Amino acid sequence: LCSSTSLHHELSSPSKKPDTELSLRIFLDMGFTDTQAEQLHDTVSKLRGGSAAKHVLSTLTALFALGLNPSSVLKLLDKCPELYSVKEPQLQQRIDNLRKLGLGEGSIQRVVAYYPQILTVPVKTVKTAVGFLREKCLFTVQQVTDILRDSPAVLTENLGQLEYKFQYVYFRMGVKQGEMVKSRLFRFTLDEVRHRHSFLERRGLYQTPDKKGQTVILNPKLDSILSVDQNTFLTDVALASAEEYDVFKRLMAREWHEQEQEGGRIEAD
């Protein structure tokens, strides 16, 4: 940690100069290979406006400070070029906030590599989303941390959509928070969840539990419904053919579209 901080200081002064001075040399010094450095240089010089390029070094420094190596840094910047232009204090604030939310060194590194967009999300937005997960969905602190680690994209999802998805799984499928976290529910779109669930339900293989939480049949676990590819889902869980499921999804899309048009959507209160 100490060494990366010093690296940060050493490099912060050139970043204030015009971007043309961001030479290959600096990138090489940071540990990029020749090709990587050239590639980076190329990208940076194409960035519009000085303000964009001016944060390049602080961004790189921050990413290295998370323990990422040059090639993964390059890869994630490729996925999310917006990161080049995030201002240093904001970036640091965001990282600190994620740490506060329980993402330890290893986790934060993996999350950023897998979903770099997380560092473009303002702290305020993260706080709102976390507040929502805690208060509206009653996830525990630890569960929220797990959600952020497994499904960071949850932070950028529309809260209305998120609430609808949660309520669908909670009320309609009768699944509790622990199961939701275990199955990495928030990695899946609402449509994916609804397609698989309603297909099973209409086939008679899934039931909404009654008030006492009881069902006549044994429901498959959310995890076994979601965390498998479509073929496995069809052969192992739904016991159906791909043709049937394909027609079913198209029928559902039309059914739901028409319900929405009629304003038949369940209102959040």
Partner 1 sequence: EKWAATRAKYPPTTLALQHFDATYGVQLGQQWPSVRVALLSERKYGALFNNFSHDAALADLEALGCRDFIRDIDAEAQPCPEQESKVVAEGESICVSMKKSDADGQQLSPLQLSPHIKCLVFPRGDITRFKPAKPDMLGLLGYYLMDAASVLPCLALNVQEGHNVLDLCAAPGGKSLALLQSQCIGFLCVNDSSVSRTTRLKKVLHSYVPKQLLTDEKLRVTSFDGTKWGEIERNTFDRVLVDVPCTTDRHSLMEDDNNIFSKIRTGERRKLPQLQAELLLAGIQAACPGGEIVYSTCTLSQNQNMSVVEQAVHSARENHGIHLQVVDLQPFTHMFRKTFNFAPDLPVGEMVIPHLTANFGPIYMCKLRRLT
Under the rule (CB under 8 A), what is the footprint of partner 1? Answer: 167, 171-172, 199, 202-205, 208, 239-240, 243-244, 246-248, 250-251, 254-255, 266, 269
Work out how close the CB of 169 gets to partner 1 at its nearest, in angstroms, rounded to a whole number: 11
Nearer to partner 1, 84 or 206 (CB): 206
Amino acid at 4: S
Angle between helices 88-100 and 56-65 (to 10 degrees): 20
Ramachandran class of 47: left when φ > 0, alpha when ψ lies in -120 to 50, beta otherwise: beta
Residue with tokens 């073929």: 231
What is the closest distance, in whole angstroms, from the C-beta atom of residue 131 to partner 1 in the complex?
21
Beta carbon of residue 187, minimum distance to partner 1 (angstroms, whole number)? 23
CB-wise, 141 or 247, nearer to partner 1?
247
> What totals of helices (H) and strands (E) does the chain contain, helices first?
16, 0
Please, which residue, 79 or 172, has the CB nearer to partner 1?
172
Write down the least CB distance from residue 246 to partner 1, Å.
7
Using CA atoms, how far apart are residues 199 and 217, in angstroms rounded to an integer? Answer: 16
CA distance 169 to 162: 11
Record the tokens describing residue 114, joined without a space. 């897998």
Question: DSSP letters along 44-84, please?
Answer: HHHSSHHHHHTTHHHHHHHHHHTT--HHHHHHHHHH-GGGG
100 vs 254 by CB, closer to partner 1: 254
Q: How far is the CB of 260 from partner 1 (least distance, A)?
A: 16
Closest CB to partner 1 among residues 156, 207: 207
Based on CB atoms, which residue is closest to partner 1, 135 or 243?
A: 243
**What is the full DSSP assignment across 152-196?**
GGGGGS-HHHHHHHHHIIIIIS---HHHHHHTTGGGS-HHHHHHH
- Asked if 84 and 51 count as a contact pair (C-beta separation under 8 A), the reply is no
Here the tokens at position 109 are 């590194």
User: How far apart are CB 146 and partner 1 at their closest, in Å?
Assistant: 26
